[in-house]
Amino acid sequence: MKIILHARPFSFKKVLLFTCLLLVSICNRSNAAEAPTRSNGGNRVAVNFVQNEKKNELSVSLKSGSETSMQLFLFSPDGILIEQVALSTHKTATIKGLKRGYYLYECFNNDQRMKRGSLLIK
């Protein structure tokens, strides 16, 4: 086999190049099939938190391109669900009784995650 590869290095390079291009093509097709579909427009979501330390409250507001209602889930760092709140654009929801600490949140619209992040309660 060594003799064949040394005798025809140009042919070997062509076969190797073709094989690499074929593998890249297959990989790109499989990645494109796994890519999530996104609807046009309205995907930008901003979740704003305002803490009132005196009343021990957290105000949550939502800015979105669509007027649909969304669900906000607030988790502890361990992944335990602390609070679930229904949100809609231009309305403020209030969460009371949160302890100091670090929290994670996820905002969903019809089982599609629109936003996620972290929050620190002082």
CA angle 68, 69, 75 (to 5 degrees): 140
45-121: which CATH number, 2.102.10.10, 1.20.210.10, 2.60.40.3080, 3.40.50.720? Answer: 2.60.40.3080
Mean pLDDT over 16-41 rounds to 58
In the chain, the amino acid numbered 52 is N
What's the pLDDT at 3?
58
Q: Do residues 48 and 64 lie in contact, with contact meaning Cβ atoms separated by under 8 Å?
A: no
What's the pLDDT at 37?
43
The DSSP symbol for 119 reads E
Q: Per-residue confidence at 6, pLDDT binned at 50, 70, 90?
A: low
Q: Tell me the per-residue pLDDT of 76-88, one tens digit each, with 9 for 90 and over.
A: 999 999 999 999 8
Long-range CB contact pairs, 36-41, < 8 A, 24+: 41/65
Alpha-carbon gap, residue 115 to 84, rounded angstroms: 15
In terms of DSSP H, where are the helices of 8-111?
9-34
What's the pLDDT at 50?
93
Q: Tell me the per-residue pLDDT of 33-72, one tens digit each, with 9 for 90 and over.
A: 444 444 444 567 888 999 988 888 999 998 887 777 899 9
The residue that leads in pLDDT, 13 or 106, is 106
* CA quadruple 24, 30, 31, 37: dihedral sign: positive
What's the pLDDT at 71?
92
pTM score over 0.85 = no
